[in-house]
Chain A
Amino acid sequence: MKSLAELAAIKEKMKQNATMREDGKSATRIVVGMATCGIAAGARTIINAVTAELAKKDLEHVTLAQTGCIGMCRLEPIMDVIVPGQDPVTYVHLTPEKVTKIINDHVINGNIVQEYTIGAYEDK
């Protein structure tokens, strides 16, 4: 170890640990429905897509959680994006492609992808 910069590089690499194991109130959370209905509709591919996307974009400060059935089984796979201080946004009928767009537009740039939300679906 020759410099503080070297130390900082290791810390950066381990950043996910810190966000994950703190109480997590300040982090953006993505919650995927993983009840039987969700799994049947393909929620596992969605979880895998989210994990892959977060890793690819270096978004270690975002936590990924699972939840049970929220009652709208026909709209599965469903996921919520919860940015601290804002209302949760629920996305429905997900595909891996939609996940990529949501993470890029909403999680990174803060623009809700209206067309995939539950609101847009119900207006149809």
Chain B
Amino acid sequence: MNLYRSHVLLCAGTGCVASGCHAVSDAFEAELKEVGLEKEVKVVHTGCFGLCALGPIMIIYPEGSFYAQVKAEDCKEIVDEHLLKGRIVTRLLYHETVCEEEGMKSLSETGFYKKQTRVALRNCGVIDPEVIDEYIGFDGYLALGKALTEMTPQEVIDIVKASGLRGRGGAGFPTGLKWEFAAKAEGDQKYVCANADEGDPGAFMDRSILEGDPHAVIEAMSIAAYAIGANQGYVYVRAEYPIAVHRLQIAIDQAKEYGLLGKNIFDSGFDFDLEIRLGAGAFVCGEEPALLLSIEGHRGEPRSRPPFPAVKGLFGKPTVLNNVETFANIPQIMLKGADWFSSMGTEKSKGTKVFALGGNVTNVGLVEVPMGITMREIVEEIGGGVPNGKKFKAAQTGGPSGGCIPNVHFDVPIDYENLAAVGSMMGSGGLIVMDEDNCMVDMAKFFLDFTVEESCGKCSPCRIGTKRLSEILEKITSGHGKPEDLDKMEMLCTHISKSSLCALGQTASNPVISMYKYFKDEYKAHVYEKKCPAGICKDLLQYVVVPEKCIGCTLCAKVCPVHCISGKVKEIHVIDQKECIKCGVCMEKCKFDAIIKK
């Protein structure tokens, strides 16, 4: 065989594709050919490393050099210096890995990676997801092989139960229990489905797993199928994840070719086949019954439960439906044991959780942390804090279904119960950081508008209630809010969450409830003083000239797009509030800080 002395890992996840990794890859391979190193150096396209903010990312082994924001024109230098002469190109290294003295720090010592534990993401950024042998090289399909040849279905269920793994889609139902229900349910035909209908704005855990380690999901679904007695599975993934769909299809084809999907797997008599079903991107289709209906070819609408899918699911048959991240944990649990998994986390929430870190935070990206870590550790240490010297205000978990965690609860250990106790939820793992410049009324409106759009319309509390709630918030942010609107808003929130049919409606008012709970003053300022303390709501703010500072340079009048600033040279200028569209250009351009927002 050919032995490579160096492996160059290039992230080909969606984040890095967007920042141009394909051009880097082409340039890099051309350079390798140019100097004749293509047989010595192997280029591997992997899934997401997590530090999406710094893409395109390249790691060169055996040194483990982590190059960030690599451009096509940097490739010649990397090849000539690093690969040919063995000199690490310090200027391109991720700044946290650069040491004052000689050498460089390994990635695991950097703030971003130090507190992470990668279980579900263990192969993301390590293997080439389009080559099944790479997955097998890292113990892939060993868990399935052992389950099929050495264990009974009940033993598999017992391990998953003992591990304490709970659903990572957000609700946190014990996975082992779900499997057991489906295993015990009567039925000539059973199904295993994966929920990859990741709909929260800002969440991309499932996408990254499917892009970076699709075989882990296939293997886990096969294990689940064996445990409950199913022979057919479906992955429900949204069509707007083209890279994930493409890699998953490659992985399924390769698994079929190897006989890891199909008939008589591992000569055990167990058959399992897997198909992809594309979703059109409706948020409600992440809801169990709606998702299953959509797979069947019907309109995705929720229905009341029970019966639960484990008893009566897809095509009316017992069905296990787990989230992608839940599945990604399964092979490791089978290989390393329930005790290993349950040794991580808190009393009731075991293992790790993947969060998609976004918003006003330095290291935007994907992180996997043990349960029980605090928000402070995630935002300040792993996330690198809030950029531009701003103050951390709150973090939203669970997307539009979750709530905000204000900085007073910054040190609460994160698990399912604690997040619910402070009025938020684990959710699927979106984590949006907000700083002092975010208006909490505006944020609540943003999340609510998303649910208004995505409400399927089947039940009226959700269809009409969220619309009315959004109108109240609109009133408040536009300065027409009355004191009684706040009471009406609270009451409406309670009604919507109590009477909606599915989780979409039941959780729709969570952002409003929690943001009102923790930032009441801000809501009141909008209503009573007609002021937006964060300076976001346009209707409530004014741009004014500070007479003492204005020298009459006329720049503001020149840049104003609606010509509402008047004044002569060397005279104090005045902004006509009636005409002002509050674009803020005058404040941005003024060299004397003579224009302020109030």
Contacts and interface: CB of A to CB of B under 8 A. Distances in A.
Interface stretch (B1-9, B275-283, B328-336, B501-509): B1-9
Size bin of chain A's contact surface: 35 or more
A20 interface: yes
B150 to A, nearest CB: 9
Most chain A CB inside 10 Å of its own CB: which residue of B3, B6, B139: B3
A24 B1 CA distance: 21
Contacts of A23: 64, 106, 108
A31 B266 CA distance: 42
Given A3-B266, A16-B3, 20 more contacts: A1-B141, A2-B259, A4-B146, A7-B141, A7-B145, A11-B137, A11-B139, A14-B137, A15-B137, A18-B138, A20-B4, A20-B6, A21-B7, A21-B61, A23-B108, A33-B86, A51-B5, A66-B84, A66-B85, A68-B85
B504 to A, nearest CB: 41
Interface in A1-43: 1-4, 7, 10-11, 13-18, 20-21, 23-24, 27, 29, 31-36, 39
Interface in B25-73: 40, 61-64
Given A21-B7, A24-B61, A24-B64, A13 B1 contact: yes
A81 interface: no
Contact of B86 (A1, A3, A14, A65): A65
Given A21-B61, A51-B5, A63-B62, A13 B133 contact: yes
Contacts of B62: 20, 24, 27, 29, 63-65
For the residues of B in contact with A, the DSSP-based class is loop
Nearest to A52: B3
Interface in B6-33: 6-7, 9
Interface string B121-140: 00000110000011011110
B576 interface: no
B517 interface: no
A114 to B, nearest CB: 26
Nearest to A17: B137
Contacts of A51: 3, 5, 40
B211 to A, nearest CB: 18
Nearest to B40: A51
B116 to A, nearest CB: 14
Contacts, number: 106
8 contacts: A2-B266, A2-B267, A10-B136, A11-B142, A14-B137, A24-B64, A51-B5, A63-B61
A34 B11 CA distance: 28
Contacts of A16: 3-4
B498 interface: no
Contacts of B63: 65
Contacts of A47: 5, 40
Contacts of A2: 259, 266-267
Contacts of B61: 20-21, 24, 63
A29 B87 CA distance: 17
Most chain B CB inside 10 Å of its own CB: which residue of A27, A33, A60, A64: A64
B145 A4 contact: yes
B149 A10 contact: no
Contacts of A15: 137
B370 to A, nearest CB: 20
B369 interface: no
B5 A21 contact: no
Contact of A34 (B1, B9, B64, B85): B85
A32 B83 CA distance: 12
Contacts of A18: 137-138
Nearest to A27: B62
Contacts of B83: 66
B85 A1 contact: no
B86 A68 contact: yes
A1 B127 contact: no
Contacts of B126: 21
A64 B259 contact: no
Contact of A1 (B4, B106, B265): B265
B258 interface: yes
A100 interface: no
List the 4 closest A-B pairs by CB distance, nearest first: A66-B86, A14-B137, A55-B3, A63-B62
B260 interface: yes
B1 A55 contact: yes
